[in-house]
Amino acid sequence: MADIKLVVKIDEKLYKDIYSDAEIMIYGGMRSGKTLLATLLRAIRNGTPLPKGHGDLKDANNLKQAFVMWSMAVQGNFTDADIASIIYNSPTIIEADKEE
């Protein structure tokens, strides 16, 4: 069965609690196991599946800022190589998915 990459939105405190020690959180009483499971299942159900074969996912705001800064440096005269360099050197949030 193929994997699904999924973007989910959860409360930051919940994420930090899970990340620090999920076993203690579930079994130690910070939250009841049922409440935690229901919260996580809702997050999965409401998540956004990433399409198979997607390219590198980058932050659009970061790219805009890079283009503005570059534009000021070269007075707005972009070459194809400039554009490729800005995109290539921008940090990747999620690596490309190699379609099977």
What does the block give as tokens for 54?
A: 């997607």
Q: Is residue 35 part of a domain?
A: yes
- List the pLDDT tens digit at each of the 100 positions of the chain: 778 888 999 888 878 877 776 555 555 555 555 677 788 889 999 999 998 888 899 999 999 988 888 888 777 677 888 888 888 889 999 888 875 5
pTM of the model: 0.59
Parent domain of 38: 6-49
- CA distances 10 to 5, 40, 63, 76, 96, Å, are 16, 8, 26, 40, 23
**Same structural domain, 38 and 62:** no
Number of domains in the chain: 2
How are the residues of the chain apportioned to helix, strand and coil, as percentages rounded to the nearest 5?
Answer: 55, 10, 35
**Same structural domain, 61 and 45:** no
pLDDT recorded at residue 31: 54
